[in-house]
Amino acid sequence: MVPNKSEDSFRMKENQNTNWIYSSRELNVHRSVIHRLWNHYQWEQNTSRRRGFGRRRITTTADGRYLLQCARHRRTLTTMQLASQLSAAAGRPIPRQTVSRRLYEGGLFARRPVVCVPLPPAQVRAQLDIRAVGPRTLYGWVSI
């Protein structure tokens, strides 16, 4: 009996799939990665990636550094205020979510509006005096 052409193509495809599975296990990557590389190789005749492709970033690394610097210098700014400040500096709109993501990447987390009640000068002096004394031990507090 002569094999059918569709049966041959099915066997070749099945053999190709098992090769992808074995290759992916050996390289410790998902089989879809091998499949995409193979398709790319058949189309382009090479496996190297072209530079400049992928997801485009709204902010540059310099924008991220500027954002972290502003956030550290002015700790009471919210993400909306930081976003508007960065948008003005960069000359293009930058979303609040992007700003909060860049802050998270830089190690700065929740930026909520904070109400800072200014202390009277007497309390500021008292706090500075306490800090100047330094940490007290248990025996140092006994005399007070």
77 closest CA partner among 64, 68, 90, 65: 68
- Mean pLDDT on 7-16: 53
The first and second tokens of residue 23, run together, are 């290759």
Residue that wins the pLDDT comparison between 99 and 141: 99
Contact (CB, 8 A) for 66 and 32: no
Among 11-15, 21-25, 92-96, the range with the most confident prediction by mean pLDDT is 92-96
Q: Please, which pLDDT band fits residue 130 given cuts at 50, 70 and 90? A: confident
d(CA 144, CA 140): 8
What is the DSSP secondary structure assignment for residue 75, as one 8-state letter? T
Is the pLDDT at 23 greater than 50? The verdict is yes
For residue 126, the model assigns a pLDDT of 87
pLDDT tens per residue across span 106-126: 988 767 766 677 889 999 888
pLDDT tens per residue across span 33-91: 878 887 877 777 776 666 666 677 888 889 999 999 999 988 888 899 999 999 999 99
d(CA 17, CA 20): 5
Q: Please, which pLDDT band fits residue 10 given cuts at 50, 70 and 90? A: very low
